[in-house]
Structure 1
Amino acid sequence: MNLFIELRKHGKLAAKRNPMYEKNKFGKFWMYFMAVFWAGYLVFFGTSFAFAFNDGATEAYHVLNSGLIFILCLDFLMRFPFQKTPAQEVKPYLLLPVKRNRLIDSLLIRSGLNGFNLIWLFFFVPFAIISITRFYGITGVLTYSIGIWLLMVLNNYWFLLCRTLMNERVWWIILPILAYGSIAAGMFIPDNSPLFDWSVDLGEGFILGHLLTFTGVFAAIVVLWFINRGLMIKLIYNEINKVEDTKVKHVSEYKFLDRYGEIGEYMRLELKMLLRNKVCKTALRTVFLVVISFTCILSFTEAYDGQGMKSFILVYNFVIFGILFLSSLMSYEGNYIDGLMSRKESIYTLLRAKYILYSIAILIPLFLMIPAMATGKLAVLSCIGWAVFVAGCVYFCLFQLAVYNNRTVDLNAKMTNRQNMGTGLQNLISGAAFGVPLLMNFMLTTFFGPTVTAWILIAIGAGFILTSRFWLKNVYHRFMKRRYKNMEGFRDSRQ
């Protein structure tokens, strides 16, 4: 425990001494604000759910307990954007007389005590106070809350296992798909699935404080703990002892870009960054899988036939590519910004190359959505309209971040690296880049209909595309005015 406290203290000191600590106060404020907002939201839903089923034939806690599996699945999905795998600079500690298992245990303890594991209690505790207290008293509420917390800790280690494996090989995404697919098949294929009864009995065991129920959950946590520990030890030591293979097996020169001169050179640089570096490749694969999944579900099932979900998927599939890579515009280049600044107007040429490349890349989601257009789920004109609008208006907004981004993003983040989180401005503009078009689509469709909306989007997007040289030049000039401040930030935040 002393080692855990000491490592936690070192982590806090490292964060406070980081030169970027003072520059990200807005991000911290926004994070705390959203945490309070969602906590209040969950409290509201918990009380509403309890009162809604309070007078039903089945007790409210039985209804909720029958859906515990769905809540765990939702919790698993929510962890992807909000929870990172535990990262710690373990390499220096490995040189000290400290057992490696204790180092990994400290990481796992920190993960288990993560505040994210408590967030669902804002839903379950108010619900339990209203629906359980009258039958089992405060003791039932306490044991039920402890049981739910243990389930979330269990889900945390299950997520950690999947996320760690997926960070190494993206194909490990098959593991959670098979797991949750099997659970779904077991729940919905049989007429009277025993999984629902098992879920109800699990919740009932928590309420009654059955020792066997708690022992079973705790045993599952211990099993996942040891699996995660063995996996993390193996990955970290493989990473530390790895000998880099300097032999070049295959080099893609992208010679077709030679005809475009200097812009072609920077487009080649961007392509190599996207297709060679660990962080970029992982992000690219992930977004491909998400877009394909959404499109297939929309095209071949009736799950997303509602107009709201169609609009969401339509906007999401086009915007996500830009948000993923352009929200950190110039942050990847922070690794070699000194070289870029050595030539006149190289930043402007880089910005133009990026804009051209990502505008062409908007054809990828358009192509992936052909099945949805072929089945009539999405209108062809609407898809074209959003492609043009995103390439014009949304990219215009995201490119403004090139002026203010001054944190370097490590291109090869590993288990032994500390994650470099986005700034508050990045999070704000990224959220607006998705939320505002979604709201805009709703309002325009309501007042003008989908056809007129598509033409309006095409007109707006085309205007920004045709004037791209002018606003990119403006972005470049504003960047140059802040170049010394930005370069200082890039240097300070390098890993």
Structure 2
Amino acid sequence: MNLFLELRKHGKLAEKRNPMYEKSKFGKFWMYFMAVFWAGYLIFFGTTFAFAFDGGATEAYHVMNSGLIFVLALDFIMRFPFQKTPTQEVKPYLLLPVKRNRLIDFLLIRSGLSGFNFIWLFLFVPFAIITITKFYGIIGVLTYCIGIWLLIIFNNYWFLLCRTLIGERLWWVALPLVVYGGIAAALFIPDNSPVFDLFINLGEGFITGNLLAFIGVIAAIALIWFINRTMMRGLIYNELNKVEDTKVKHVSEYKFLDRYGEVGEYMRLELKLLLRNKVCKNSLRTVILVVVAFSLVLSFTEVYDGTGMKNFIVIYNFVIFGILFLSSLMSYEGNYIDGLMSRKESIYNLLRAKYTVYSIAILVPFILMIPAIATGKLALLTCISWAVFSVGCIYFFLFQLAVFNNKTVDLNAKMSSRQNVGTGLQNLIAGAAFGVPLILNYILTTVIGQETTSWILLAIGAGFILTSNLWLKNVYLRFMKRRYKNMEGFRDSRQ
């Protein structure tokens, strides 16, 4: 216990001494604000479900328990954009007489006690107070909520296992697909699925304080804990010893970019950055998986047939690539910024290359939503307008971060590096890049209709695209005015 408390103290001191500490305060405030917002949202739904499920032939908590598997699946998907694998600087501690397993245990404990694992209690606590108290009293509510929390803890470690494996090898995406595909088949193919009864009985066991229910969940947590610890031990060893550095199977030159001169060279650099470095590859894989999942659900199911959810998915699919990579604009280049600054106007050509690459990347979500267009769930004009608006207007605001970002993001260290925390400006602009279009679309659609809104968004986006050389030049000139301050920040934040 003393070791865990000491490592936690070291982590807090390292965060405070980081040169980006002051800039991340607003970002933390913004995250706390959003956490409070979603907590209120879940309390509302928990109360609504309690009254909506009451009065039927089955008790309300039995109805909720039968859907626990859907809550766990939704929790798993939600973790992809919001939760990263636990990281801590373990390299210095490996020089001390401290067992590596104890260091990894600290990482796993910190992940299990993360505030993200408590957020679903805001849904289940009010629901339990309304529906369970009248039969089992406060003790029933308490044991039920403890059981739900243990299930979320298990889901946390299950997600950690899948996320880490997918980050290492893309084909591991088959693991969650097979698991959830098998669960879906077990749920919907039989007429009376035993899976629903299993979760109803598990929830009943939590309410009544059945020791077997708690022991079963705790045993499952212990098993997946052991699997995670074994896997992370090997990955940390490989990363610290650079085991993979000698395994180069294929070198892509992208010779077709030679015709574009220096801009083509930087486009080649950007592609290699995205496809060769661990952090970038992991982020790229994650966002593609989420976009593919949303697109398939929208195209081939009726789950998100509501107008609000359709608009949410369309906007999310188009802006997520930009938010994920452009909110850290120049931060990856902080690893080698000195070389970039040695050539005249190289930063300007780099910005042009980045804009070209991520503009072309917008075709990925557009292609993935073609089935939804073909089935009539989305209008072709709507998709085109949001694609153009994202490349034009949203990218314009995201590119302004190139002027102010001065924190280096490590390209390869995932398990042994300090977790990167975005600055307040990054979080503000990234949040606005997603939230403002949603609000704008809602207002315009309500006032003037969907078709006219699409034409307006198309015109706005086209205007920014046609003037892209002008505002990219402006970003470059402002960056050059701050270049010494930015370079100092990049150097100070290198690991």
Q: Point out where structure 2 has 5 or more consecutive residues left out of the alignment.
A: none
- Cα contact 2:20–2:423 (8 A) shared by 1: no
AA aligned to 1:138 is: I
What is the 5 A alignment of 1:55-454?
Answer: 55-246=55-246, 250-454=250-454
Q: Which letter does structure 2 place at the counterpart of 1:488?
A: E
Identity of aligned residues (%): 80
Does structure 1 retain, via aligned residues, the 8 Å contact 2:373–2:380? yes
The residue type paired with residue 410 of structure 2 is D
What residue in structure 2 maps to residue 10 of structure 1?
Answer: 10
The CA distance in 2 between the partners of 1:208 and 1:341, in whole Å, is 67
What amino acid does structure 1 have at the position aligned with 2:147? Answer: G
Q: RMSD over aligned Cα, in angstroms? A: 2.1
Structure 1 stretches lacking a partner, 5+ long: none
For 1:300 and 1:122, how far apart are their aligned partners in 2?
31
Q: Aligned partner of 1:83: which letter?
A: Q
1:413–1:419 CA contact under 8 A, matched in 2: no
State the 1:209 CA deviation: 0.8
Partner of 2:485: 485
Judge conservation of contact 1:298–1:304 (CA < 8 Å) in 2: yes
Question: In 2, Cα distance between the equivalents of 1:480 and 1:167?
Answer: 35
Cα gap change, 1:487 to 1:462, in 2 (>3 Å): same
TM-score normalised to structure 1 length: 0.94
What amino acid is aligned across from residue 214 of structure 2 in structure 1?
F
* CA displacement 1:322-379 (0-9 Å, x = unmatched): 2222111111111111222222322222112222222233233333333333333333
Taking the aligned partners of 2:116 and 2:292, their CA distance within structure 1 comes to: 29
Report the CA distance between 1:115 and its aligned residue. 2.1
Q: Report how many aligned residue pairs link the two structures.
A: 495
Which letter maps to 2:95?
A: L
**Deviation (angstroms), 1:232:** 1.3
Structure 1 residues 124 and 371: alpha-carbon distance in aligned structure 2, compared to 1, 3 A threshold: closer
Closer, same or farther: CA 220–2 of 1 in aligned 2, 3 Å: same
- The 1:80/1:487 distance shift into structure 2, 3 A limit, reads same
Conserved 8 A contact 1:43-1:126: yes
Deviation at 1:248, TM superposition (A): 5.8
AA of the residue aligned to 1:266: Y
Distance in 2, matches of 1:164 and 1:484, equals 37
In the superposition, relative to structure 1, how do residues 250 and 204 fare at CA in structure 2: closer, same or farther (>3 Å)?
Answer: closer
Secondary structure at the residue paired with 1:356?
helix
User: Residues 228, 357 of structure 1: CA spacing in aligned structure 2 closer, same or farther, 3 A cutoff?
Assistant: closer
Whole-Å Cα distance in 1 between the matches of residues 109 and 301 of structure 2?
41
Matched residues in 1 for 2:338 and 2:43: separation? 50
Would the alpha carbon gap of residues 429 and 111 (structure 1) be closer, same or farther in structure 2, given more than 3 Å must change? same
Q: Which deviates further from its counterpart, 340-349 or 218-227?
A: 340-349
| Matches of 1:478 and 1:241, distance apart in 2 | 40
Per-residue CA deviation, residues 64-112 of structure 1 (Å, 9 max, x unaligned), is: 2222221122222222222222212222222222222222222222222
Higher mean displacement: 96-105 or 441-450: 441-450
C-alpha contact (below 8 Å) 2:279/2:414 kept by paired residues: no
Which secondary structure state, in structure 1, belongs to the residue aligned with residue 336 of structure 2? helix
Q: Matched residues in 1 for 2:253 and 2:18: separation? A: 38
Q: Aligned pair in 2 of structure 1 residues 198, 448: CA closer, same or farther (>3 Å)?
A: same
Structure 1 residue 37: Cα displacement: 2.1
Amino acid at match of 1:401: L
CA–CA distance in 2 between the matches of 1:298 and 1:93?
Answer: 47
The answer on whether the counterparts of 2:81 and 2:287 sit within 8 Å (CA) in structure 1 is: no
* 2:473 alignment partner AA: K
Amino acid at match of 2:477: H
1:133–1:282 distance in 2 versus 1, CA, 3 Å: same
Q: Deviations over 1:227-259 (max 9, x none)?
A: 111111122223233445457654333222222
Compared CA separation, residues 292 and 56, structure 1 to 2 (3 A): closer
Distance 1:418 1:145, change over 3 A: same
Contact preservation (8 Å) 1:20, 1:492: no
Partner of 1:43: 43
Deviates more, 1:203-212 or 1:91-100: 91-100
Amino acid at match of 2:171: W
TM-superposed CA distance for 1:436, in Å, is 2.1
The amino acid that maps onto 1:361 is A
CA distance in 1, matches of 2:143, 2:249: 59
- Partners of 1:374 and 1:54 in 2: CA distance: 40
In structure 2, distance between residues paired with 1:180 and 1:456: 41
Label 1:379 to 1:140 Cα distance change in 2 as closer, same or farther (>3 A).
Answer: closer
3-state SS in 1 of match to 2:419: coil
Matches of 1:41 and 1:257, distance apart in 2: 49
Q: Measure the CA separation in 2 of the matches of 1:11 and 1:378.
A: 47
Alpha-carbon spacing, 1:116–1:357, altered in 2? closer, same or farther (3 Å):
closer
C-alpha change, 1:374 and 1:418, in structure 2 (3 Å) is same
| Greater CA drift, 312-321 or 140-149 | 312-321
Which residue identity is paired with 2:140? G
Q: Distance in 1 between matches of 2:377 and 2:154?
A: 39
Superposition deviation, residue 164 in structure 1: 1.6
The code of the aligned residue for 2:259 comes to R
8 Å contact from structure 1 (residues 319, 433) kept in 2: yes
Q: CA separation of 1:287/1:57 partners in 2, compared to 1, >3 Å: closer, same or farther?
A: same
Look up the equivalent residue of 1:13 and give its one-letter code. L
1:275 Cα deviation after fit: 2.1
Rounded to whole Å, the distance in 2 between the matches of 1:455 and 1:52 is: 41
CA distance in 2, matches of 1:115, 1:122: 12
Q: Please, what TM-score do these two structures have when normalized by structure 2?
A: 0.94
